[in-house]
Amino acid sequence: MHRIFEERPEILAPVFGALGIAFPEKAAAYAVTSDVTETRPLVRHVDTVLRIEPSDGDDFLLAVEAQERRDPAKSASWAYYIAYLQSKYRLPVLLLVVCRDRATAKWAAGPFDCGARGWTVQRTHPLVVGPDNLPAVTDRRTAAEKPAMTAFSALTHANSAVGDAILDVLGHALAGMEQSAAQYFSQFLDTALGTSPAGEKWRNIVSFVNYFPGRGTLLERTFNEGEAKGEARGEAKGVLSVLKVRGIPVPDDIRERITSCTDPVHVSGWLDRAETVERAEDLFIDTPEAPEAV
121, part of any domain: yes
124, part of any domain: yes
292, part of any domain: no
Residues 24, 99 within the same domain: yes
Residues 202, 84 within the same domain: no
Residues 121, 49 within the same domain: yes
* Integer Cα distance of 7 and 179 in angstroms: 17
Residues 39, 103 within the same domain: yes
| Total domain count, the chain | 3
Residues 19, 91 within the same domain: yes
**Domain termination residue (choose one: 107, 129, 151):** 129
The more confident residue out of 148 and 29 is 148
- The DSSP code for 247 is T
CA 179 vs CA 81, 155, 205, 211, 221: distances in Å: 38, 22, 17, 8, 20
List the single range of 166-175, 177-186, 218-227 with lowest mean pLDDT: 218-227
212, part of any domain: no
Residues 37, 118 within the same domain: yes
Question: Domain containing 67 — which CATH number?
Answer: 3.40.1350
Residue 22 sits in which domain range? 3-129
Residues 22, 115 within the same domain: yes
* Integer Cα distance of 2 and 77 in angstroms: 17
Q: How confident is the model at residue 33 (pLDDT cuts 50, 70, 90)?
A: low
**Domain termination residue (choose one: 206, 230, 259):** 206
* Integer Cα distance of 224 and 260 in angstroms: 19
Q: What is the pLDDT of residue 178?
A: 82
Average pLDDT, the chain: 82
Residues 66, 183 within the same domain: no
List the single range of 59-63, 143-147, 278-282, 286-290 with lowest mean pLDDT: 286-290
> Average pLDDT in the 190-199 region?
90
182, part of any domain: yes
The answer to whether 217 and 206 have CB atoms below 8 angstroms apart is yes
Sign of CA dihedral 102, 173, 221, 240: positive
Residues 191, 238 within the same domain: no
48-69 pLDDT, tens digit each: 899 999 887 789 999 999 999 9
196, part of any domain: yes
> Average pLDDT in the 198-204 region?
89
Neighbours of 163 (CB within 10 A): 24
**Domain termination residue (choose one: 154, 178, 206):** 206
Kindly report the pTM of this predicted structure: 0.64
The answer to whether 127 and 23 have CB atoms below 8 angstroms apart is no
- When mean pLDDT is compared over 171-175, 194-198, 207-211, 258-262, the highest value belongs to 194-198
12, part of any domain: yes
Q: How confident is the model at residue 292 (pLDDT cuts 50, 70, 90)?
A: very low
The answer to whether 52 and 27 have CB atoms below 8 angstroms apart is yes
DSSP H helices, the chain, are 3-7, 12-18, 74-89, 102-108, 140-145, 147-156, 163-174, 179-193, 197-206, 218-229, 232-246, 252-260, 264-273
Among 209, 149, 139, 201, smallest CA distance to 179 is for: 209
Residues 163, 202 within the same domain: yes
Residues 71, 40 within the same domain: yes
Q: How confident is the model at residue 35 (pLDDT cuts 50, 70, 90)?
A: low
90, part of any domain: yes
Residues 19, 111 within the same domain: yes
